[in-house]
């Protein structure tokens, strides 16, 4: 009798407790080299006077750019624009010149904010002052706009340096790039990021959840009914 009861309790426990939901990963590492748009179409970098600041061109990748004003911010430019350094890949980069004017009256100036539709676990980008040495700062924030950390690099004339930040919690929502070395003209290239994986129940797993839960409840009900019958007997 005791063995029978334990067996039935085990069946109920299996049905209600040991349920494993399947997961689907939606993360995909991203790279923005400013030579192609989000759909892999080629971009022709322009002079500042012929272009506007970069905003939502990469929104399909979950990445948005903004400067310190509605019309201001970095612009995609071609390396032939006399920046003192070659692009790392292709011929374009994200360029700034605090003394220049964009076609809409904005200024290609920083700080530049890069926001992510989904939180990421790591971020990196290369920076260069071109004709002058420069110092660059990276600030990283979570979804509540709380500062997670910051880093700085110094770059020599005509050289690239890498700014990067990783979060073990995978809670990066926004970064801000600022040239803090006094150079008014500088560029960034090869931005990379890794979105955090999202786990969601698979349809088959949800069906399994319902099936096992129902089985567990039914087994427990039968056990109680048999208990009552044995007491009456």
Instruction: Return the closest-CA partner of residue 117 out of 213, 43, 38.
Output: 38
Structure tokens at 221: 């009900």
- CATH class of the domain whose range is 30-195: mainly beta
Question: Encoding tokens for residue 194?
Answer: 């890794």
CA 208-211-217 angle, to 5 degrees, is: 135
**Chain-centre distance for alpha carbon 151:** 18
> Which residues have a Cβ under 8 Å from the Cβ of 182 and sit 6 or more positions away?
134
Both structure tokens of 81:
């624009």
pLDDT in tens, 60-102: 999 999 999 999 999 999 999 999 999 999 999 999 999 999 9
> Is 0.85 surpassed by the pTM of this model?
no
State residue 211 phi and psi, 5-degree precision.
Answer: -65, -50
Low-confidence ranges of the chain (pLDDT < 50): 1-26, 200-217, 220-221, 223, 231, 233
Q: Say if CB 42 and CB 35 are below 8 A apart.
A: yes
**The tokens of 230 are what?**
């044995």
- pLDDT of 197 reads 79
């Amino acid at each position: 009798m005791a063995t029978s009861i334990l067996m039935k309790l085990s069946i109920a426990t299996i049905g209600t407790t040991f349920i494993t939901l399947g997961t689907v990963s939606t993360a995909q590492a991203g790279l923005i080299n400013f030579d192609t748009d989000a759909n892999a179409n080629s971009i022709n970098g322009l002079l500042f006077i012929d272009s506007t600041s970069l905003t939502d061109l990469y929104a399909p990748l979950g990445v948005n750019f903004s400067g310190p004003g509605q019309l201001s911010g970095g612009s995609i430019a071609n390396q032939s624009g006399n920046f003192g350094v070659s692009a790392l890949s292709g011929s374009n980069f994200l360029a700034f010149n605090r003394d220049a004017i964009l076609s809409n009256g904005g200024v290609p100036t920083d700080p530049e904010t890069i926001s992510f539709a989904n939180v990421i676990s790591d971020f990196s980008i290369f920076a260069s002052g071109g004709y002058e040495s420069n110092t660059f700062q990276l600030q990283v924030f979570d979804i509540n706009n709380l500062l997670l950390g910051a880093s700085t690099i110094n770059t020599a004339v005509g050289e690239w340096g890498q700014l990067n930040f990783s979060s073990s919690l995978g809670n990066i929502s926004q970064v801000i790039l600022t040239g803090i070395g006094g150079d008014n003209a500088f560029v960034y290239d090869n931005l990379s990021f890794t979105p955090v994986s999202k786990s969601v129940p698979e349809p088959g797993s949800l069906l399994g959840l319902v099936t096992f839960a129902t089985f567990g409840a039914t087994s427990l009900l039968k056990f109680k009914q048999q208990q009552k019958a044995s007491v009456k007997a």
